Amino acid sequence: MNVTPHFRGGAGEPLVLIHGFSSTWRSWEPVLPALTAHHDVFAPTLPGHHGGPAFGDGVRPSVEAIADVLERLMDEAGFETAHLAGNSLGGWLALELARRGRARSVVGVSPAGGWARDTPQERRLRRFFTRLHRLTSLGARWDEAIARRPRLRRLAFRDVCERGDRLTPGQALASMRGLLGCSVYWELIEAIEAAGPPTAAWLAEVKAPVLIAWAERDRILPQRGYSENLRAIPGAQWTTLRGCGHVPMGDDPQLVAQTILDFTSAVSRGDGP
């Protein structure tokens, strides 16, 4: 399977798409046609993830270290600032970039980091990602067969999205192989556990207009228990992505793309918060 480090296409105001933990830029593939019609879209694979760039020598994986690499990639793309849309860990990273002054706006799609530290919700995430890695590893020898069959795709991706059968075989295969190809999987989990989620003071430093779009049927980060801390973001708007799972781009590409486009256009017109 061909593995590319990023996607770049379209024209208009810059938009950076940031995928979630252990994924790749291809998680955004279903919404790219709609977004590139209005924006110059750059979707990189995160460092340490399958097909993404490496960290610098001696750099340990962390949210901050990933954001450092994303800043460099934005510079190389010619984006001093950009609209940012991030899913899961990508939403957390988009908020970190906004704190650094790199965001024109932020759309957090079921963003990570909204749980409280030292809680059952935090401990559950370690168990979930341990189980996910184990199951994906066990199924690796049959990944092509799983990817080809809609019913098996829906079963295999039941925690990730509501309608895994709507993914193309290529997208499903990229997702499974991307998880196992994430070289920083365990190290990044440990770094996030050690540092803890963003504090209220951290979130108060986010100055860009923010929209939090939570997937209604999110099984990885259900809104209750995993979003409350994010209420500290000044002026943030909230909406619900109806009928969608944690990675909603495959469930309802039109809804996700339109949610992003409505917000970026409102901010560009000066109608944002």
- State how many domains the chain has: 1
Q: Give yes or no for a contact between 108 and 256, defined as CB atoms under 8 angstroms apart.
A: no
Residue 76's CATH number: 3.40.50.1820
Taking the mean position of all CA atoms in its chain, how far away is CA 191?
18
pLDDT at 217 over 90: yes
Domain with 132, as residue range(s), is 6-269
- 3-state class (DSSP) for residue 84: strand
Which tens digit of pLDDT belongs to each residue from 111-130? 999 999 999 999 999 999 99
Q: Residue 223's CB: how many other CB atoms inside 10 A?
A: 17
Give the CA angle between residues 45, 50, 54 to the nearest 5°: 75
Q: Is residue 1 part of a domain?
A: no
Predicted confidence at residue 168, as pLDDT, reads 95
| Confidence class for position 182, pLDDT limits 50, 70, 90 | very high
Q: Is residue 76 part of a domain?
A: yes
First to last CA, the chain: 43
Q: Is residue 93 part of a domain?
A: yes
Q: Give yes or no for a contact between 25 and 6, defined as CB atoms under 8 angstroms apart.
A: yes
CA distance 112 to 258: 22
